[in-house]
Amino acid sequence: MNTEPEESRPPGRAMRSELAKQRIAKATALAEEQGGVVSRQQLLRIGVTRGQIRANVTARRWRTVRRQCLAVHTGELSTLGAQWAAVLEAGPGAVLDGGSALIASGLRGFEQDSFRVSVPRNARRRRAKGLDVHQTRRYRLSDHAPSGVPRTKPEVAAVHGALWATSDKQAVLLLTMAVQQGLTTPQRLGVAALRIRRDRRRLLIHATILDLLEGVRAVSEHEFAHECRRRGLPEPSRQVLRQTKDGRFFLDVCWEQWGVVVEIDGIQHAWVQNAVADALRHNEVAMAGDIVLRLPLLGLRAAPDDFFAQITEALRSRGCPHLDETA
């Protein structure tokens, strides 16, 4: 007589068959959310065995897609399925980026020969035909779209795509198309572009976004002073003359009483021939004891609240009165 508790006995053939069916059903449901494809790792995590994977492929119910993925059907992959396969093949943390992410977000009229995929700096790069996988220092979880195929948000994808474009013309085209087709706004593009510190296309990208922001390329110190009054800040002096051992120069705006200077950087400040002179002037003023803040024109147009918050904090730290915490 078998006295072994029933719950500890090995499952019978019928029970094993039922468990296998449940796991296959889970795999099918997961694949439906991913354009009909799943990765081998996903299958193993939900309990589908390697033997079951081989059996379904051998029986031609499933087929392999790249090295790490399978389709739970034998037909052609949909666009969504191909996008998911590219991300799953590239490994954990991978996201579509640049033009590929824009296409996944709905961009029309732009094609690519391969999928651009970004992975974290410390991730393993998997090479495969039709995949352009890059480790990138610009990888941020906060840049990822909240749903759908893993990809960067449209504004981030457009800026990255412009950086990686095959030509300046293509760079401008991606930025413009993303706005024209309603995937993002010039303001959001501007915020994303402000994070780019060094790149040969930085000037072109800033100029293009400024054009999308109704073509504003310059701002007067008078307009800046008006914006200060609107926000409850004291009006600064404009074009303040400073004398140094090497000559004279003018500061854009300055609160001399509290030693706070703001330099408004237009497009011309990004030119190489101005970079050294601007840096020397900045250092000269800072060494004299003033706080020197840089306000790029794109920042004034795309993210004014963030920059004016810094200006307010600088004035408050130097004892400027009548600045409450909400100013």
pLDDT, tens only, 269-287: 444 445 555 666 666 666 6
Q: Judge whether residue 241 has pLDDT over 70.
A: no
* pLDDT for the residue 272: 42
* pLDDT for the residue 91: 86
More confident residue, 122 or 265: 122
Q: Judge whether residue 165 has pLDDT over 60.
A: yes
Mean pLDDT of the chain, nearest integer: 82
**What kind of fold does domain 221-317 have according to CATH?**
Endonuclease; Chain A (3.40.960)
- CATH 3.40.960.10 maps onto the chain at 221-317
Strands 115-119 and 131-135: parallel
What DSSP line would sit under 221-282, residue for residue?
HHHHHHHHHHTTPPPPEEEEEEEETTEEEEEEEEETTTTEEEEEE-GGGGSHHHHHHHHHHH
Assign 126 a pLDDT band (cuts: 50, 70, 90): confident
Q: How far apart are CA 84 and CA 54, in angstroms?
A: 21
Q: How far apart are CA 313 and CA 133, in angstroms?
A: 42
Q: Judge whether residue 155 has pLDDT over 90.
A: yes
